[in-house]
Amino acid sequence: MRLDQSPARKYNCMFDINLLFLSPSDREFGNYLLQTGQQLPSHYELNEEQTVYMQEWFDAMKLEYESEFLAKETSLRSKLMEGLVYLSRTRFAAAPPDATSVQSQSNIVELLNYTHLHYTDERLSLSSLADGCGMNASYVSRLFKQHTGRTFIHYLHRLRVDRAASLLATTDMDIVDITVEVGFDDARTLRRAFKKLSS
């Protein structure tokens, strides 16, 4: 949203990306959202009506977050998905989705879904991903680069490092346990991946 008036109100909504994959029915949409900054824009131009909706949504999220209501976490996840769906639809209101390469889109969704379900398995590799989805490894490699802007290994390491950072910040787990939890074979590999992704 571009602001033409002041004062500005800044909203920051942080959440664990795994929330997007808790329900099988949400996985396709979750994988779609993972293309933000690559195939999807990293910002949206909202009209006045859309801006009002999103402000009300943020306020409702904040109210729920600060409450102690029954099923608070369930309600927050529901509201989060509702807001993300609404925001995503604003893109199509301005320009309809490109209908080309439907099969390619379907395949990358399947690959991303498989990756997000199995990224903590240290045996996950480009070839095991390709086998698991019944595709050719070189084709899978090409799809990842085309749709995410990253190699498969880069994408996988980013998932694991982000999860490790989240566990470090929110749990008392030690680095050895976290390393195993996110799928790296040892702490040195985790540190090396973290260093590479941070540079």
Give mean pLDDT in consecutive 10-residue pieces for the chain, a chain of 199 residues.
57 78 78 74 80 90 91 91 88 54 78 92 95 94 88 94 91 93 92 85
**Residue 141 and residue 166 in one domain:** yes
Q: Is residue 11 part of a domain?
A: no
> What pLDDT shows up at residue 107?
86
**Residue 52 and residue 126 in one domain:** no
**Residue 81 and residue 116 in one domain:** no
Q: Is residue 176 part of a domain?
A: yes
> What pLDDT shows up at residue 147?
82
User: What does the block give as tokens for 167?
Assistant: 């566990």
Other residues' Cβ atoms within 10 Å of the Cβ of residue 118:
15
> What pLDDT shows up at residue 148?
85
**Residue 164 and residue 108 in one domain:** yes
> What pLDDT shows up at residue 1?
42
Of 94, 128, 154, the residue that ends a domain is 94
Q: Is residue 9 part of a domain?
A: no
> What pLDDT shows up at residue 25?
74
User: What does the block give as tokens for 143?
Assistant: 């799809």
CATH code of the domain in which 161 resides:
1.10.10.60
Which alpha helices (H) appear in 95-184, and where do they start and end? 102-118, 126-133, 137-148, 152-170, 175-182
**Residue 163 and residue 186 in one domain:** yes
**Residue 82 and residue 28 in one domain:** yes
The pTM (predicted TM-score) of the whole model is 0.54
CA-to-CA distance for 149 and 62, rounded, in angstroms?
A: 33
Only one residue has tokens 């787990």, namely 173
154: containing domain: 102-198
